[in-house]
Structure 1
């Protein structure tokens, strides 16, 4: 197998994305990534992040890309989590990503970075995220209460929040 085949396998499991660190783990160099980008096999999405061009887009691509652009230990928070799940009718202009690390690299306008707080992290659709419960609580005061209550009910029906969490949400968001 060639290095590009290895890169393709990594990207296929990660919304078409591959980082330079992942590429180096399978023996591909940064210069090879740059060459494949020049040849039109990869698209450079940001510092240390590439997307394979033979990728069928999904509804989660932007969320996965935002987290990957911010870097290791990054995860979606707040309205970005709700938007990813189609809850509370939110459509944020920027995808909010939290990280415990300092981020110095230039990011696209559509990515907003916030410091990571003590939030229960989980993984939805392979993307590190704040829990839906914590995201609903975090959006209190920024999203209409009726929408949050409807979102909590929808999340419970879809198995995104437990029964005890739903009970707490009903009290907290009312």
Structure 2
């Protein structure tokens, strides 16, 4: 039971999601994960990704789960970053997750892996690895109306998600 308490604490910090690697670091054996799935405490969501069965959902759960399903080094990208922050009125059909590695595992249809651009700066919002908001706005220039992106930049600046210099650069590029 002590191992499950540790697993629960880790998962609670990660929107109800825990990976097999995190469980191993906490001292839980793979057989314990299987047992907890069998008795209904965990739900297997994908290869090496588990979710607490009893978890109060938050608006960020799907984003955290998508990044965990894609694997190490993955982060939110493009329109998904804007959607997570409620910017530019975007509603992507799938959560776009960038990764530096090739993804061979089977992913649900609502997760779309993309190749991570080399040297892209990343950060973490609400504990979820992500492309920086300014870079996400810039990367959506071809798929989202410029007026919406400009409004998203203004809103992001007001919320402190974009620095003044980044806002000025986006304003010049989107005008």
TM-score (norm 2): 0.97
Partner of 1:92 in structure 2?
A: 92
Q: SS of the residue aligned with 1:169? A: helix
1:148-163 correspondence runs (5 A): 148-163=149-164
- 1:50 is displaced (CA, Å) by 0.4
- How far apart are residue 29 of structure 1 and its match? 1.1
RMSD: 0.8
Residues 18-63 of structure 1: per-residue CA shift (max 9 Å, x gap): 1001111111111111111111000111110001112110000000
Equivalent pairs counted in the alignment come to 174
Please name the residue that 1:128 is paired with.
Answer: 129
Look up the match of 1:32. Answer: 32
**Mind listing any 5+ residue stretches in structure 1 that lack a counterpart?**
none
User: Where has structure 1 moved over 2 Å in runs of 4 or more?
Assistant: none
Question: TM-score normalised to the size of structure 1?
Answer: 0.98
SS of 2:56's partner is: coil
After the TM superposition, which residues 138-153 of structure 1 pair with which residues of structure 2 at under 5 Å, given as runs?
138-153=139-154
Structure 1 counterpart SS, 2:129:
strand
List runs of 5+ in structure 2 lacking aligned partners.
none
Aligned to 2:138: 137
**Structure 2 counterpart of 1:23:** 23
Superposition deviation, residue 101 in structure 1: 1.2
